[in-house]
Amino acid sequence: MASNLDLQEQEQLDELKAFWKQYGNLITWGLTLVLAGFAALNGWNWWQRDQGAKAGAMFDELDRAVQAGNADQAGRVFNDMKERYSRATYTAQGGLLAAKLQADKGQADAAQASLGWVAEHASDEEYQALAHLRLAALLLDKKDYDGAQKQVDAVKSPEFAALADDRRGDILLAQGKKDEAVKAFQAAWKAMNEQLDYRRVVESKLTSLGAAPEAAAAASGVAK
């Protein structure tokens, strides 16, 4: 009986050896790739958390510079953030913050450069949209209407479509294209939530152009 069991075990062992000889390398490499992928994922998550924490610390430094009104320092910190943590959300936020202070301090070229970087490199589409719209405003101040329009056209986020139409209206109005500006402002007004305070700003623009939304709605009702 024992010899039969020994024989069966030997046969099973021989089969296992043959199987491992044929498929062992494939299995080993498969397991290695799975384990390597798991380790890489854990490493990537750790790296992202570490980068985010460090970028957050630099953002705090930038924010302190902004609070102090030191545009030069804010710009230097933002440049460091770009070099070290270009994909961090904090870096995009820092760029917008630095650009606002730079613009307020009359550093239009520096503000334009900061916004240009955010518009091109921010990992979040919303930050890109904000940068494009603010950059359009700077270019509008310089009377670079074509450049401003290109920035508005670059806004792809649906959440910012109404603001893009509003900025488009500003550009058209600055060029003396009143009728086209009115259409852009009307599109912005209609797309904005009624509870949004900025909607009243757009409404005032339309009113000043003789196209008050309420008056137009009332006229439409009379016509019906």
Q: pLDDT per residue over 154-199, tens digit each?
A: 999 899 999 999 999 999 999 999 999 999 999 999 999 998 899 9
pLDDT at site 16: 60
* Residue 109 pLDDT class (50, 70, 90 cuts): very high
Residue 111 lies inside a defined structural domain of this protein: yes
Residue 12 lies inside a defined structural domain of this protein: no
pLDDT at site 222: 38
Residue 149 lies inside a defined structural domain of this protein: no
Whether residue 130 is predicted with pLDDT greater than 80 in this model: the reply is: yes
pTM listed for this prediction? 0.74
Residue 172 lies inside a defined structural domain of this protein: no
Residue 192 lies inside a defined structural domain of this protein: no
Overall domain count for the chain = 1
Segment 68-81 mean pLDDT: 95
Q: Which domain holds residue 106?
A: 23-123
Lowest mean pLDDT among 10-24, 114-128, 142-156, 177-191: 10-24
Residue 91 lies inside a defined structural domain of this protein: yes
Radius of gyration of the chain (CA): 30
Residue 148 lies inside a defined structural domain of this protein: no
Residue 43 lies inside a defined structural domain of this protein: yes
DSSP secondary structure string for all residues of 127-188: HHHHHHHHHHHHHHHTT-HHHHHHHHHT---GGGHHHHHHHHHHHHHHTT-HHHHHHHHHHH
Angle between helices 198-208 and 161-174 (to 10 degrees): 30
